[in-house]
Amino acid sequence: MELTKQYIIQSISAASNNLRLSTQKIEVVALLREAIVKSENLEADIKSMKKITELSTLAIRLNEIYTYLTQSQIDLFKLSEKFKEHSQYLIKDLSHMLDMVNPATFKTALEKLNNSAAEEIKSTPDEMPASDESENGISIDLSKRKESETFFEESENKKLKEKLILEDDKNDEDIFFQNYETEILKTIKPVDNILKQLGRSEIKDDELISLAKTMKNNGDISAKIGFDIIANMHWIVSKSLLLLKNHDLIQSRETSESIRACLIVIVALVRGKEVDITTYLNRAEEFGKEIQTIKVKENI
């Protein structure tokens, strides 16, 4: 990751550490960091953020930091002091933004940012059009995406949430959604017990497969109702259990603690604990990146 992005992301993390963040605010901070990491033109994206009401105040501060990092001569002896200063200034602006948005409205704001970037690309004929694949960065071309597709996704998400609240019929799926927290949390302890056994005793393959399958299913359910971070944590744990079963992942204390970091994030978010889990979230996400390139030999 380039230095400018790393500096800004760490400034945001330092600022967030000084705030009491709810579950939703933690997810918004994670989405913000992800957007910065994936940006292909950070300067242009920050300028575009100024035009979006929910992001404008924070964008002004981020632009100041970006300008300092790219257009001035940096005194390395004073860089640490400057970082503290930037992080301190960000606290108020970040808190203001977090009070204005939730994960859903923040994603909508990012959609506005994407559309703004796409319009700029289309109005510049000499430039190559950006890819329409969102994983390539914030500056993407969404012109080919039909409004009906976005409406369908939002409608499905809305239906699931309404079913969770209002549905009276007691079929298995409804019971699961009505007991989401219970269903999610009851798998955490068995996985944690497995982690305590790593390197000490032989773990049965069928036990690993069973837990991996449950974690994947819970991750899929979490994704359907919009809990992206919780879903990702489940998928990381699921894959790591299969890799352990196939001996493609070393049974070590480091592996155990990385998987446990995922569990801690899941529990904190599901229970809505207003505690700082940034360290655990960072470790879990890094672990996810590390195992991303390892192929699982069998599907579940």
Write the CATH number for 210. Answer: 1.20.120
CB 91 within 8 A of CB 11: no
pLDDT (0 to 100) of residue 279:
87
Is the distance from CB of 8 to CB of 36 less than 8 angstroms?
yes
Domain contains 253: yes
Domain membership of residue 161 (yes or no) is no
Question: 203 with 278, same domain?
Answer: yes
Residue 223 lies in a domain: yes
In a domain, 298, yes or no: no
Count the helix, strand and coil residues of the chain and give each as a percent rounded to the nearest 5. 75, 0, 25
d(C-alpha 35, C-alpha 295), whole Å: 26
List the domain range (segments joined by +) for residue 193: 177-292
Do 248 and 187 fall into the same domain?
A: yes
Residue 160 resides in a domain:
no
Q: How far apart are CA 242 and CA 205, in angstroms?
A: 9
CA distance linking residue 9 with residue 66, whole number of Å: 11
State residue 162's pLDDT score: 52
Residue 131's pLDDT is 39
Residues 187 and 85 reside in one and the same domain = no
Q: Are residues 107 and 188 in the same domain?
A: no
Q: Quick check: is 136 in a domain?
A: no
State phi, psi for 236 to the nearest 5 degrees. -65, -45
Q: Could you say which DSSP state residue 299 is in?
A: -
- State the Cα–Cα distance between residues 258 and 287, nearest whole angstrom: 6
Write down the pLDDT at residue 119. Answer: 61
Q: Give 175-183 contacts, CB < 8 A, sequence gap 24+.
A: 176/221, 177/221, 177/225, 180/221, 180/225, 180/270, 181/270, 181/271, 183/218
- Domain membership flag for residue 164: no
Give, as one character, the DSSP assignment of residue 186.
T
- The Cα–Cα gap between 227 and 21 comes to 16
- For the chain, state the CA radius of gyration: 21
CA distance linking residue 63 with residue 43, whole number of Å:
8
Structure tokens, 124 = 């510049």
In a domain, 277, yes or no: yes
Tens of pLDDT, residue by residue, the chain (300 residues): 588 888 899 899 888 887 878 878 888 998 898 889 888 889 999 988 888 888 888 988 999 999 888 877 777 777 888 888 888 889 888 988 998 888 888 988 888 887 766 665 555 544 444 434 433 333 334 444 444 444 444 455 555 445 444 444 444 444 444 577 888 889 999 999 989 887 676 778 888 999 999 999 999 988 877 788 889 999 999 999 999 998 898 888 899 999 999 999 999 888 776 677 888 899 999 999 999 988 887 666
Q: Are residues 106 and 199 in the same domain?
A: no
Domain count, the chain: 2
Is there a contact between 46 and 66 (Cβ–Cβ < 8 Å)?
yes
Give the C-alpha separation, 129 to 139, whole Å: 10
